[in-house]
Amino acid sequence: MVECLYINPPCFSQTTKKEETFEIDILGVEGRKNLQKANDILGLALDEADFEYYYEFFLNKIQKNPTDVELFDLAQSNSEHSRHWFFRGELYVNDEKRPESLFKSIQDTQKYSNKNNVIAFCDNSSAITGFESEYLVSTDPTKTAALSKKCLKRHIIYTAETHNFPTGVCPFPGAATGTGGRIRDVHATGRGAHEIAGIAGYSIGNLNLNNYPQSYEPKWDYPNNFATPAKILIEASNGASDYGNKFGEPVIAGFTRSFGMQLPNSKRYEYVKPIMFSAGIGSIDSNLTKKAEAKKGQLVAKVGGPVYRIGIGGGAASSVQVQGDQKNELDFGAVQRGDPEMEQKLHRVIRGCIELGDKNPILSIHDQGAGGNGNVLKEIVEGKSGGAIIKADSFDLGDPTISIRELWGAEYQESDAILVDPLLVDELKAISSREKCKVNIVGEVTGDNKVIVKNYTNELPEHPVDLDLTKLSERESKVFNLRSDVINALSLELPSKLSVKEALNQVLRLPTVGSKRYLTNKVDRSVTGLIAQQQSVGPLHTPISDVAVVALSYFDTVGAAMAIGEQPIKGLIYPEIGARMSVGEALTNLIFAPITDLSDVKCSGNWMWAAKVDGEGGKLVQACDAMCAVMKKLGIAVDGGKDSLSMAARCKNNEIVCSPGTLVISTYAPCTDIQKVITPDFKIPDEAPTVIVYISMANPRQKYRLGGSALAQCYSQMGNEFPDMDSPEYFKKAFNVVQKLIQEELLFSGHDVSDGGLITALLEMAFAGNCEIHASITSQTGTLETLFAEELGIILEVSHKNLGHLLAICDENDIIVQKIGEVVQIYGKDASIIINVNGSCVIDCSLNELRNIWEETSDRLELLQTSENCVKSQIEWRSKVNVTNYVANFNYNIDSNNFLTKSPKIAILREEGSNGDREMAAAFIFVGFEAFDITMTDLSNGANLDQFRGIAFVGGFSFADVLGSAKGWAATISFNEKICEMFQTFKNRKDTFSLGICNGCQLMALINWIGNSNVSKGKVFLDDNDCGRFHSGFCSVKIQKSPAIMLKDMEESILGVWTSHGEGKFTYNSAETEQFLEKQNLRCIRYCDNNGHLTNLYPANPNGSSSAVAGICSADGRHLAMMPHPDRSFLTWQWPNYPKNLKLHHSNFTPWIKMFKNAYDWCVFVE
């Protein structure tokens, strides 16, 4: 608490005045001078070409003095950030004109790939052909209504962008709004689309962690207006994770790279200006992929949050050639602030409109980002019959002092612009009212191609914006004169007696190579219930999986696979190699998901480069040409992407530091069977030991080149021989062979060789499998080169029985396979890592010793974001786990097509901020319930609970957990007499039951529905996790004897289940309360270790609940509250690793389906 003395009496009257609109006198004799003055004052970041264009545009083309609003608007919406002038421009490289734009070259890759793009280069996301299946939709999203299965065709959409400048200046809000803006890019595709999952990546400078010195991290100066690399990494990942957690979008893949080095040309390259990469996968109904053209009479609406004075000038600030060349206050003012709860409500409005089907009122939609209203409203009314009159008075203002320039230019978040069918406005308003998300009809399409803003009532000028879109669109391409700096590559000089163990001691600690557990622990990776593959695998939930896979529906096993590739360090000397290796890495990550065809793979190309710094732009061109060429040979294509071309920062000593030119390749493709994805943890099935084989993907004649490797970085060098995709033709053959091996189910595990080399890939697979390996590698090159070179290749685990078949398939296709070892059935603390190269033993260590080194940098970073006790507990837990044992001694072979004719009704109840409703509904629908989507708003407006036999209180972050989890939701029930009585009546009926999961569990505790509900309220509540933050993981729980109707016959089961919460610690107001619950067997679900013993050890117990409590029921057993998520764990593909001993022959159900079926059986039995 902070206490302060108010010397003067507080004043609540408005004293701040709106800034007045003014003209910039360009037509006068000092026009140029006045324009330059406006450029400086308003922070427009106009380059020389911009300056000349706007001067001529206003002086001669339209012959009027611009208002500050118009000039500010054009500077933002026509900035490099918004319009990508470089990629569309006329380029001269080393004085030679390039024959076409970079954009044209990238588009040409489409000619060499399958024609499966539905959307490419023309919307907020790209899309490829998806699948027809049954999807869960509301029968009427304007009110309480049943959720039903509907046969639809949905395509797969993908988008990727970065939010680098805001993240460098203010890491948490910068990354949060980067995530939020990208989420809106997904749902603003076509006429509205569905978000499923996200990807996050971070490239930062040298961490220089306290008391953890690394020899390759020199102490250099950093700019005053940027956060330090370590702070960026922690706070940016907090911001991105927090936003996704609260919105309800899981992060299921990503990358981290830390780099700072002085190259042989004495130039320092470091991610002083960081990369915050955000990408998203989603789906779109096949009939909604095309936006309608703007036509006279259509209404222009804004949906989402109110106007605030935040994010002023972000488009221009992000386009400054060298960050640090603007005033600090302009940089800080340009950073937006995020509100994920508002975004959740906005998402529900869009989804509701989509689910209206033919009555979808959205004709076109764009999300608001750089340039604010000035950009998004001009964009949405573009076209031959476009133009609009916009009324300032029609906007919902969060601050009455917002000036017209701020209204038009602020990049306040959680807002979309839509064109609305005038005949369907009532439906839109009904949905928005139900979801408590404002819709403002702010204008109307005029058809004259002019955008006119009508000022606030009684304010001048009457039209602060009056622009002709036709004339604005006539701007010519920009011209760029570029050159490439040539950096002489020096041979790598490693210490002469460097041992493999010493090298590993360095490499495994490199943030790029080491464990990312500090990231995955704090981000939800299961919400939606549609996640088939995320980062963490094996008994220790180790984050090493590189392919992300989502289902498109709960009722099918088709989906989408995506993977990332980025190899910027290899491109510092040779940009072409960096580009080819980025493509190669993306594909060797994607390879382990079964896809329709390699030529169906589409890519997003995201370019982060200091392109306008002398000597750097030509390198980008080289990289682009190489990327296009290799994609054409592979038969894949780019269908979208973004660029950030001001990746340089001015440090304290006036040194300009460029970030390494970075190309991030995102690959995505249709996945034919989400159940066949190969994970990278060694499995050791019954036929152990298994065989480890290696396939080179780059060239049949294996090479081992250390240039640009993690080992070279650890010794502050680059080297002169770099790995490359020497033969794209061979790579393509090898890719298709591995796909065949997956389809024929010959593989147990697989992993790509990337940062850290072959030895790191082997170790990661052993760390994740928690098992012993014996490797024996034959090579024609040196030991360090063999083990640490980062050549394109993959490691596969196969049984002895299937090895011959695998070798035969590879031989038929001329693919070289090398047997390099065996996986041995020894686990955990007893396991060893033994590696021989050319007959000599180079590593003989315990598994735990090497894993601790690999985890140490992550543990150090964890100390910056959680308690020391939890970090120690996590280290202890890792050392104790052997093999996880699950037990389910009951029948859960549910035939979902063989229910009784009765379909009990269950209310899937949510409040604003809830996000777990659809997966909950799916679980109940599978076992025969009729599930209804119902909101607290519905109940306030006259709906009731009389028709329902059950209530499911869903998970999420109701009211964003303000004042504590579920406190707001509980208040809406407890402090509304009518609603409180309604709930009490429902609870007291003998034919009703309820289930509360996560946020719903927290609510049930607060409204006293669990334990002994006859006593006063507040006996049980959920407190903050001991780790002090949100935690996500896959835990084991033990179901104990209790009266809980939903757990009937499940006693003594040990099951895996997802957990995702920040306040999950069961706490009691007295020892007597706890004793009562224990004596009555009401604490029915408990966290346990891998052997089934109850545990308080983090993270097996993710919150520190005493006695390992995970769930509590009511005394009569009808009401059950639990923090874990069986609603995300009832299908086999939802588990990170589903055990064979629990697999049913003709069903995808896990034992958790029994819980939901018990509820159905009880409802049928208790009439």
Rounded to 5 degrees, what are φ and ψ at 195?
-80, 145
- Kindly tell me if the per-residue pLDDT of 325 is higher than 60: no
Rounded to 5 degrees, what are φ and ψ at 684?
50, 70
What does the pLDDT read at residue 1?
A: 45
Asked if residue 951 belongs to a domain, the reply is yes
Please name every residue paired with 466 in a beta bridge, in sequence order, or none if there are none: 452
**Catalytic member of 155, 541, 1031, 1125:** 1125
Q: What's the distance, Cα to Cα, between the start and end of the chain in Å?
A: 53
Question: 3-class DSSP state for residue 566?
Answer: coil
Q: Domain end: 850, 865, 880, which one?
A: 865
- Contact predicate 917/910, CB 8 Å: yes
In the block, tokens 């060893």 appear at: 832
**Catalytic member of 185, 546, 961, 1127:** 1127
Statement to judge: residues 744 and 837 lie in one domain? yes
Q: Please report, for the domain that includes residue 925, its CATH number.
A: 3.40.50.880
Give 584-638 pLDDT, tens digit per residue: 999 999 999 999 999 999 999 999 999 999 999 999 999 999 999 999 999 999 9
What number of other Cβ atoms are within 10 A of residue 1071's Cβ? 8
What is the DSSP-derived secondary structure letter of residue 3? -
Give 400-441 pLDDT, tens digit per residue: 999 999 999 999 999 999 999 999 999 999 999 999 999 999
1127 is catalytic: yes
Statement to judge: residues 916 and 850 lie in one domain? no
- CA separation (Å) from 1138 to 681, 745, 1031, 1089, 1141? 13, 16, 21, 17, 9
d(CA 648, CA 817): 44
Mean pLDDT of 804-814: 97
d(CA 1159, CA 1126): 14
Helix axes 340-355, 229-247, angle to 10 degrees: 40
What does the pLDDT read at residue 332?
A: 62
Residues 6 or more apart in contact with residue 417 via CB below 8 angstroms: 300, 301, 302, 303, 365, 366, 367, 368, 373, 376, 377, 379, 380
Mean pLDDT of 459-482: 89
Statement to judge: residues 916 and 798 lie in one domain? no
Asked if residue 71 belongs to a domain, the reply is no
Mean pLDDT of 1087-1110: 97
Q: Using the CB atoms, write b or e for 958-974: b if 16+ within 10 Å.
A: bbbbeebbbbbbbebbe
d(CA 672, CA 357): 27
What does the pLDDT read at residue 329?
A: 61
What does the pLDDT read at residue 326?
A: 53
What does the pLDDT read at residue 16?
A: 76
How many separate domains does the chain show? 2
Mean pLDDT of 282-307: 98
Question: Both tokens of residue 465?
Answer: 């914006």
Statement to judge: residues 858 and 927 lie in one domain? no
Statement to judge: residues 819 and 918 lie in one domain? no
Residues 6 or more apart in contact with residue 620 via CB below 8 angstroms: 102, 575, 607, 609, 611, 645, 661
d(CA 248, CA 197): 9
Taking every pair of Cα atoms in the chain, the longest distance, rounded to a whole number of angstroms, is 90
Beta strands in 102-235 (DSSP E): 117-119, 126-138, 145-162, 194-204
Statement to judge: residues 836 and 953 lie in one domain? no
Asked if residue 565 belongs to a domain, the reply is no
d(CA 1060, CA 919): 14
Mean pLDDT of 1138-1167: 93
Confidence label for 85 from pLDDT (cuts 50, 70 and 90): confident
- Kindly tell me if the per-residue pLDDT of 307 is higher than 70: yes
Confidence label for 898 from pLDDT (cuts 50, 70 and 90): low
Statement to judge: residues 1053 and 1000 lie in one domain? yes
187 is catalytic: no
DSSP 478-496: PEEEE-----PPPPP---T
- CA separation (Å) from 1078 to 261, 1007, 1041, 1055, 1086? 59, 20, 11, 21, 12
The model's pTM is: 0.96
Statement to judge: residues 1005 and 922 lie in one domain? yes
d(CA 322, CA 165): 11
Give 653-694 pLDDT, tens digit per residue: 889 999 999 999 999 999 999 999 999 999 977 767 999 999
Give 854-894 pLDDT, tens digit per residue: 999 999 999 999 999 999 999 999 999 998 999 999 999 98
d(CA 388, CA 381): 7
d(CA 369, CA 356): 27
- Contact predicate 948/932, CB 8 Å: yes
d(CA 222, CA 14): 40
Mean pLDDT of 893-898: 74
d(CA 441, CA 420): 9
**Strand 602-608 to 643-644 pairing:** parallel
**Catalytic member of 771, 998, 1084, 1088:** 998
Asked if residue 797 belongs to a domain, the reply is yes
**Strand 662-671 to 602-608 pairing:** antiparallel
Asked if residue 108 belongs to a domain, the reply is no
Range(s) of the domain holding residue 785: 678-865
What is the DSSP-derived secondary structure letter of residue 744? T
Residues 6 or more apart in contact with residue 375 via CB below 8 angstroms: 73, 76, 77, 82, 315, 368, 369
How does the average pLDDT of the chain come out, rounded? Answer: 94
Asked if residue 1116 belongs to a domain, the reply is yes
Asked if residue 846 belongs to a domain, the reply is yes
Consecutive H or E run containing 949: none
Confidence label for 18 from pLDDT (cuts 50, 70 and 90): confident
What does the pLDDT read at residue 1019?
A: 87
Q: Using the CB atoms, write b or e for 28-43: b if 16+ within 10 Å.
A: eeebeebbeebbeebb
What is the DSSP-derived secondary structure letter of residue 1081? T
What does the pLDDT read at residue 74?
A: 86
In the block, tokens 């476009």 appear at: 386
d(CA 1013, CA 1000): 17
Asked if residue 629 belongs to a domain, the reply is no
Question: Both tokens of residue 393?
Answer: 């008075």
Give the HSE-up count for residue 954: Cα atoms under 13 Å, Cβ half-sphere: 34
- Contact predicate 444/389, CB 8 Å: yes
d(CA 1022, CA 1001): 8
Statement to judge: residues 851 and 917 lie in one domain? no
600 is catalytic: no
What does the pLDDT read at residue 17?
A: 82
Give 1003-1061 pLDDT, tens digit per residue: 999 999 998 766 555 589 999 999 999 999 999 999 999 999 999 999 999 999 999 99
Question: Which amino acid, residue 1036?
Answer: S
- Kindly tell me if the per-residue pLDDT of 330 is higher than 80: no
d(CA 896, CA 304): 39
d(CA 322, CA 658): 9
What does the pLDDT read at residue 314?
A: 59
DSSP 112-150: GS-S-EEE-SSSSSEEEEEEEEEEEEES-TTSSEEEEEE
3-state helix, strand, coil in the chain (%, to 5): 35, 25, 40
What does the pLDDT read at residue 50?
A: 87
Question: Which amino acid, residue 554?
Answer: Y
Q: What is the dihedral of CA 1027, 1032, 1036, 1039, to 10 degrees?
A: 90
Write down the H helix ranges in 465-616.
469-472, 500-507, 517-520, 575-590
Q: Please report, for the domain that includes residue 792, its CATH number.
A: 3.90.650.10
Give 503-550 pLDDT, tens digit per residue: 999 999 999 999 999 999 999 999 999 999 999 999 999 999 999 999
Burial class (CB in 10 A: 0-12, 13-18, 19+), 898: exposed
- Kindly tell me if the per-residue pLDDT of 297 is higher than 90: yes
What does the pLDDT read at residue 315?
A: 55
- Long-range Cβ pairs for the range 735-738 (8 Å, 24+): 735/587, 735/591, 735/598, 735/697, 736/598, 736/813, 737/695, 737/809, 737/810, 737/813, 737/815, 738/591, 738/592, 738/695, 738/794, 738/796
What does the pLDDT read at residue 313?
A: 63
Statement to judge: residues 957 and 835 lie in one domain? no
Helix axes 575-590, 617-634, angle to 10 degrees: 40
What does the pLDDT read at residue 321?
A: 58
Residues 6 or more apart in contact with residue 395 via CB below 8 angstroms: 302, 306, 307, 373, 407, 440, 442
d(CA 212, CA 207): 10
Sign of CA dihedral 70, 75, 78, 83: negative
Q: What is the CA radius of gyration of the chain?
A: 30
Question: Which amino acid, residue 1130?
Answer: F
Statement to judge: residues 785 and 924 lie in one domain? no
Confidence label for 442 from pLDDT (cuts 50, 70 and 90): very high
Statement to judge: residues 813 and 914 lie in one domain? no
Question: 3-class DSSP state for residue 235?
Answer: helix
d(CA 1151, CA 55): 70
Question: 3-class DSSP state for residue 796?
Answer: strand
Rounded to 5 degrees, what are φ and ψ at 580?
-65, -40
